[in-house]
Amino acid sequence: MISEKIVLVLAILVVSVVILGCADPGMSDQVDGDNATAGYTDVSVQEAKEMIDSGDVFLLDVRTVNEFETEHIEGAVNIDVNELGSRLDEVPQDETILVYCRTGVRSAAASNILVDAGYTDVYNMLGGISQWKAKGYPYVSGP
């Protein structure tokens, strides 16, 4: 009986070590800075605005059509993150791609999709349009 308990405890310890050993030590709940391991770069809304103002960027909004029609950043092209994989032909490979969504979660997923498809100049706007609006930057309201 005691040996069964020892075996069970050791098994739990081994499983725990394996699980913890597979975790990425660089991972955290906070998303910021250069995401070089993912192949894209996270940028603040301030940096994103500078990129947009320079005029040398393909602005990709990966929210739903409904969200996009409610409000979006002027000049953005809307492709829902759930459709992005099948609509890559609409995203130029030879341009800088700046991706945003509402808060930055879907745009990170979309950035990964682009990188996995061979895109090399991809930027994810942290905080999304919510942070953009909070900074008082201009946006289009309505379709």
- How do 140-141 and 71-72 pair as beta strands? antiparallel
Q: Exactly one of 52, 59, 79, 101 is catalytic; which is it?
A: 101
H/E stretch holding 132 reads: helix 128-134
Q: Please indicate whether residue 101 is annotated as part of the active site.
A: yes
What length is written for the chain? 143
Q: Are 54 and 123 in contact (CB under 8 A)?
A: no
d(C-alpha 90, C-alpha 19), whole Å: 40
Residues assigned a catalytic role:
101
